[in-house]
Structure 1
Amino acid sequence: MLNYLKNHPFAVEAFFESSLVFTFAVPKEELQNLIPECLELEIFQEKWAFIAVALVQTKDLRPKGFPKFMGNDFFLIGYRLFVKYTNNNGKRLRGLYILKSETDKKKMELMGNIFTHYNYTTTDITQTDNEFFKEIYSVQSKFKVIINKTENNISLPKNSPFTDWKEARRFAGPLPFTFTYNHNTKKVLIIEGVRQNWTPQPLEVIDYQFNFLKNLKLKNPILANAFIIKNVPYYWKKGKIELWK
């Protein structure tokens, strides 16, 4: 029964007040061992693969169709890889593979680990905000970001492999699908997300630190882009399972 519940047995909806996404370019060889056999890394210029960190302020998370007062508000930190999966019909799907998820609410950790395979843990989150800067940090998880709120003419991060923001938006996330794989049964769980009002805006990043990336022993992850998305109605369809090969 527990395994069944983890497979997204019903649709879920929420409202993203804001989503900050920081995408890092890493030589593909360094990330290959982090994905299951059924997935392929999304590759850029035959060299780069990508790992993203999303910081999301979420409201009213609940089973789709339930009233808002039954929803939960929480902050989410998601670490995920950009991947592709070829389904049994031969269609190639772009999506994400979740490495780890963190939240500021113990209730969300509990519910998230009952109904998903996303490895939720609870952590502290502090946000400071003024007319010039926004800072989000966690002492326990050892991450911080500081963004400039006043700059309009924003350049791509230094050493980004992208040539312009249009190219960078292909890796803004979230992508249409999220994948989970059971190595023992060879079954792939496919979760499709449906979004509205999706308009990523570039961010100027003043400073950042993500201890999770250091723990992966990546040699030199390059900040490739950073975007913010605001006020997005979002829902996830019921999960679909298919046998790989």
Structure 2
Amino acid sequence: MLRFTVRSRDGQGDLDVTADLGEREPLWDGVFATPADARRFAGPLPYTFSPDEEGIVVVKAFRSSWRPEPVGIPRHHVAFLDRFDGAVLANAFHVSDVDYGWHRGELR
């Protein structure tokens, strides 16, 4: 079992998630049709952007050994999701030993 707890001053960023690393059955609440569909969203996007006075800064990420494994979530509370009517925790993955970082940003 792996538990993450975050408390924010206003409560809107609170998070309390317990993951069962021994349970490899993904969550299925009708959000994704297959594990492969869900896995496409298990990770950061390859680029991030930031506005700048002269344009936009584009930063590309790199990662290796990226093998997300679905995990069971026996209990969770994600305050951010409470803001959206009908929002659910659609899936959860565990990754470890990831070489992850960012390349230098480029102004465009």
TM-score category of the 2 structures, normalised to the smaller one? 0.7 to 0.9
TM-score (norm 1): 0.39
Alignment: residue pair count: 104
Are positions 1:236 and 2:108 aligned together? no
Gaps of 5+ in 2: none
Superposition deviation, residue 239 in structure 1 = 0.7
Identical columns (%): 28
Q: Is the 8 A contact 1:160 1:222 kept in 2?
A: no
- Alpha-carbon distance between aligned partners in 1 of 2:50 and 2:71, rounded to the nearest angstrom: 30
Residue 218 of structure 1: which of 68, 71, 84 is its match?
Answer: 84
Q: CA RMSD in A?
A: 1.9
Residue 147 of structure 1: which of 15, 19, 26 is its match?
Answer: 19
Q: Is the 8 A contact 2:28 2:91 kept in 1?
A: no
Taking CA–CA contacts closer than 8 Å with sequence separation of 6 or more, which of the two structures ends up with the larger relative contact order?
2
Structure 1 residue runs of 4+, over 3 Å off? none
Superposition deviation, residue 160 in structure 1 = 3.5
- Alpha-carbon distance between aligned partners in 2 of 1:228 and 1:210, rounded to the nearest angstrom: 17
Instruction: State the secondary structure of the residue aligned to 1:224.
Output: coil
Q: Structure 1 residues 205 and 165, CA, compared in 2 at 3 Å: closer, same or farther?
A: same
Residue 162 of structure 1: which of 28, 32, 35 is its match?
Answer: 32
- Alpha-carbon distance between aligned partners in 1 of 2:38 and 2:14, rounded to the nearest angstrom: 27
Q: Structure 1 or 2: larger strand share? A: 1
Gaps of 5+ in 1: 1-132
Residue 45 of structure 2: which of 169, 175, 197 is its match?
Answer: 175
Q: Is the 8 A contact 1:160 1:223 kept in 2?
A: no
TM-score (norm 2): 0.81
